[in-house]
Amino acid sequence: MRTESAQGGGSGEAHLVRRLTLFDSIMLVVSGTIGPSIFIIPADVLRAVPNPGVAMLLWVAAGAITMLAGIACAELGAMFPEAGGQYVFMREAYGAFTAFLYGWVLFTAGNSAALASMAIAVALFLGQAVPALGAEQVLAAGSLFGWHVQVEQGSVVAAAAVIVLTVINLLSVKLAAWIQNVTALAYVIAVFVIVAAGFALGSGSWSNFKWESSAPISAAGIGVAMIPLFYCYDGWEFLSWVGGEIKNPRRNLPLALIGGVILVIVTYLMANAVFLYALGASGLARSTTPAAASMRALFSADVGRWLALFIALISFGSASVVTLGGARIYYSMAKDGAFFRAMTHLNPRRKTPSTSLIAQCVWVCVLILSSRYDQLYTCFIFMMTLTYAMTVGAVLVLRRTQPHRARPYRCFGYPWLPIIYLIVALAFVVSTLLTRPRESLLGLALAVLGVPLYLYWRRRAGRARGTTADAGGSV
């Protein structure tokens, strides 16, 4: 069977192989974006904005803002259809140093902490569905260098989930894509079924969509609501990370980004609608587990356990996408000589970045077992938002610095739509810096710690090129 090389070339060098179809790519956007947060965040939004109509509009607005970034990223993805996504875009627009800092931040805490948190979500919801696997059960406790250390069952289950996902990705990118396809489809279909059954058979009320509070809608409240909303829409960018394995990427990558985000918006609106129908705005705002509370109100208490199992499955699918995409970033960095050389290794038979996947797995398991993943992720919300602004800014930069490069897809509404996104994203960055300076500055500090490593790797790569040149000249 003939396969299309991801990077081209007819040499014997191992390359990633293009196996991901348009359907795979759309499902990757859906499963990468949709996760357990949709079952919690609707309550946070209504606590900040106690008007169901305004809350629903904010869900659409956050999706539209995400779409602006996706459209810009689609132009970049079609220009540079190779593994690495945002890392490659930043390298081309801002240079190797900025690209390295992006990848370093992603490895140390951004992507790794996100994967850890998703794996923890798998363990928590699985424990609710199967009491014997309760996440809080302590398996071992003791003292290490004066520090109290304990291992909870949830941490072990979460680490096991990461290991299983890593093994799957080592075996086959297509198998990993199949898993995220199944979980994404299961999520979308289940939401449609829940919505249809809830409205047709559930014990809700259409009056719950009325504004139940006299509290005014403030700009501050809207700003607070947008923080969890942006988090809920995070994950669309994973598709660009596997650009080197998408079939016909110049067509399929932009189509998948735009189509996937639209599907996510529709799904989120449907989920919010059924939650409001079941609980009303005030009831939803008071709930700590909106999805389970809605199912109890609409149907019965027994439905809650099945829902918990379902959420665990969705979390597993989302973690699969992060596992798949993150390893490709580190692989691309290593190929540029800006990361551990071993990260360039591809399994010669399966064409998967095996060393990158294993290193990612080990570090994520350390974060899970150390119980520090949540703090790291909080620190890097600021950094990740900044990277999205830089990604969209790369469209403006490359239009000026590389005007003649082929652009199979051009960003719609250029330059105004990218500029609008930059204004919104940078306002969010400044707000985060002012309201959470400790976490933001800690993120910047950890990024700076990567500078000595960058200088070392670049110096080593320079020596290697010099040695090669000398050898070639002596022939």
Tell me the average pLDDT across 182-205: 76
Residue 170 lies in a domain: yes
Domain CATH number, residue 204: 1.20.1740.10
Q: By mean pLDDT, which of 100-114, 160-174, 206-220 is the weakest?
A: 206-220
Quick one: CA dihedral 12, 80, 385, 60, positive or negative? negative
Q: Which of 146-160, 184-198, 329-343, 365-379 has the lowest mean pLDDT?
A: 365-379
Using the predicted structure, report yes or no on whether residue 79 has a pLDDT greater than 70. yes
> Greater confidence, 93 or 464?
93
φ, ψ of residue 322 to 5 degrees: the values are -65, -40
In the DSSP assignment, the letter for residue 82 is S
- Euclidean distance between CA atoms 433 and 427, whole angstroms: 10
Q: Is 452 exposed, middle or buried (0-12, 13-18, 19+ CB in 10 A)?
A: exposed
What is the number of other CB atoms lying within 10 angstroms of the CB of residue 53?
14
Instruction: Render the burial of 162-187: b for 16+ CB within 10 Å, e for the rest.
Output: bebbbebbbeebbebbebbbebbeeb
Residue among 286, 363, 264, 213 nearest 37 (CA): 264
pLDDT at 12: 46
Cα–Cα distance for residue pair 53/62, rounded to 1 Å: 14
pLDDT digits (tens, 9 = 90+) for 139-169: 766 666 556 566 778 888 999 999 999 998 8
Structure-block tokens of residue 72? 């810009």
Reported as a single tens digit per residue, the pLDDT across 413-453 is 889 999 999 998 888 888 778 777 877 787 788 788 888 88
Residue 412 pLDDT grade (very low, low, confident, very high; cuts 50, 70, 90): confident
Element (H, E) at 330: helix 302-335
Burial of 385 (0-12, 13-18, 19+ CB in 10 A): buried
For the stretch 284-294, pLDDT in tens is 888 766 777 78
The answer to whether the beta carbons of residues 1 and 228 sit under 8 Å apart is no
Q: How many Å apart are CA 70 and CA 100, to the nearest integer? A: 22
CA 464 to CA 475: how far, in whole Å?
17
How far apart are the C-alpha atoms of 44 and 286, rounded to whole Å? 9
As a whole number of angstroms, the distance between CA 79 and CA 405 comes to 8
235 or 11, greater pLDDT: 235
Return the pLDDT at 20. 78
pLDDT band at 403 (very low <50, low <70, confident <90, very high): very high
- Cβ–Cβ under 8 Å, residues 53 and 202: no
Q: CB-based contacts of 189: which residues, under 8 Å, 6+ apart?
A: none
| Total number of domains in the chain | 1
Q: Which amino acid is at 381?
A: I
Is the residue at 342 inside a domain? yes
Q: What is the structure's pLDDT at 163?
A: 95
Q: How confident is the model at residue 384 (pLDDT cuts 50, 70, 90)?
A: confident
Check pLDDT > 90 for residue 395.
yes
51 falls within a domain: yes
Measure the CA angle with vertex 163, ends 310 and 146; round to 5°. Answer: 105
Q: Is residue 473 part of a domain?
A: no
Q: 138-144 and 147-152: which strand pairing?
A: antiparallel
Higher pLDDT, 374 or 451: 451
Closest to 244 in 3D by CA, of 96, 373, 83: 83
Q: What is the Cα–Cα distance from 132 to 243, expressed in whole angstroms?
A: 41
Burial class (CB in 10 A: 0-12, 13-18, 19+), 325: buried
Residue 218: pLDDT above 60? yes
User: 1 by DSSP, 3-state: which?
Assistant: coil
Domain assignment of residue 406, given as a range: 22-463
Look at 3-12, 208-217, 305-314, 371-380 and tell me which has the smallest mean pLDDT.
Answer: 3-12
Tokens of 51: 């008007």
Of residues 308, 299, 301, 264, the one with CA closest to residue 278: 299
Print burial letters for 121-136: b (CB count within 10 Å at least 16), e (below 16).
Answer: bbbbbbbbbeeebbbe
Which DSSP state fits 21? -
Looking at residue 216, the DSSP 8-state letter turns out to be P
6 pLDDT more than 60: no
Asked, for residue 475, whether it belongs to a domain, the answer is: no
Of 271, 303, 267, 265, nearest in space to 284 by CA: 271
Q: What is the mean pLDDT of residues 334-342?
A: 80
Q: Is the per-residue pLDDT at 4 higher than 80?
A: no
Rounded percentage of the chain residues whose pLDDT exceeds 90: 11
Q: Return the closest-CA partner of residue 25 out of 357, 321, 390.
A: 321
For residues 194-214, average pLDDT: 73
Residue 11 in any domain: the answer is no
For 142, the enclosing helix (H) or strand (E) is: strand 138-144
Q: What rounded mean pLDDT belongs to the chain?
A: 79
CA dist., res. 376 & res. 103, Å (int): 16
DSSP string, 336-358: TTSS-GGGG---TTT---HHHHH
